[in-house]
Chains A and B, each alone.
Chain A
Amino acid sequence: EVQLVESGGGLVQPGGSLRLSCAASGFTFSTYSMHWVRQAPGKGLEYVSAISSDGGSTYYANSVKGRFTISRDNSKNTLYLQMGSLRPEDMAVYYCARDPNWNYPHFDYWGQGTLVTVSS
């Protein structure tokens, strides 16, 4: 069974940093590209970042470019999102999602999400 379990969310002050993790199981992690998508409270889905299966290619939404870094450790079946210079508008539930087709991305499995709260 495919499972994606996010962790690392919590309360952080504006300007602070946080690292999210997404532990994958039930599939060959190293053969799938992965993404982060977020959802602010009561709002819609917002795309955050993507990483290719080997980690060699990464993409970011303009809203997080230069502040967030996506990475992965295929030996640990884990996806990461290092978030820095956090702003109140970054407050959201962050989902990791599996993508079976890097050329035409879509998200066939999602984690349950982890909440990031940015507040002083």
Chain B
Amino acid sequence: QSVLTQPPSLSAAPGQKVTISCSGSSSNIGKNYVSWYQQLPGTAPKLLIYDNNKRPSGIPDRFSGSKSATSATLGITGLQTGDEADYYCGTWDSSLSAGVFGGGTQLTVL
């Protein structure tokens, strides 16, 4: 049981927009920045968004992040088949004094 809650799976057509939600609590998302990671099959996770809404160099602006209270959202526009992956939200939990992740969302682009 993950501390952060994500939908297990989502699907959308190429070119469409999708949003992935991440729900937490006052001790994690409510107090700390959220980051998002993309994991393609058989590879290590890759940072997509940090500090709620910042993109690392090289990440296209099709990817965006937002946070409100104890929830966060990853948005992906102009979906491509190469976006098929597992997506994870993560943050620090101030009560646990440890990092926490969501259970992951498997995105299918069909």
Q: Which residues of A contact B (CB under 8 A)?
A: 35, 37, 44-47, 50, 59-62, 95, 101, 104-113
Contact = CB atoms under 8 A, between A and B. Distances in A.
B101 A44 contact: yes
Interface residues of B, number: 26
Contacts, number: 64
- Which of B45, B51, B99, B101 has the largest number of chain A CB atoms within 10 A? B99
Contact of A107 (B37, B86, B96, B104): B37
B56 A108 contact: yes
Contact of B44 (A59, A108, A113): A113
A108 to B, nearest CB: 5
Contact of B2 (A44, A60, A104, A106): A44
Given A45-B37, A95-B45, A111-B44, A50 B102 contact: no
- Which of B33, B47, B88, B103 has the largest number of chain A CB atoms within 10 A? B47
Interface string B27-61: 00000110101010000111100110000100000
A59 B100 CA distance: 12
25 contacts: A44-B86, A44-B88, A44-B101, A44-B102, A44-B103, A45-B37, A45-B45, A45-B104, A46-B101, A47-B90, A47-B99, A47-B101, A59-B97, A61-B96, A61-B99, A95-B44, A95-B45, A104-B51, A106-B33, A106-B47, A106-B50, A107-B47, A107-B90, A108-B50, A109-B47
A50 B47 CA distance: 17
B85 to A, nearest CB: 13
A41 B47 CA distance: 21
Given A47-B101, A60-B98, A62-B98, A106 B44 contact: no
Given A61-B99, A108-B56, 8 more contacts: A44-B101, A44-B103, A45-B37, A45-B88, A47-B101, A59-B98, A61-B96, A106-B35
Contacts of A59: 97-98
Contact of A105 (B2, B88, B92, B104): B92
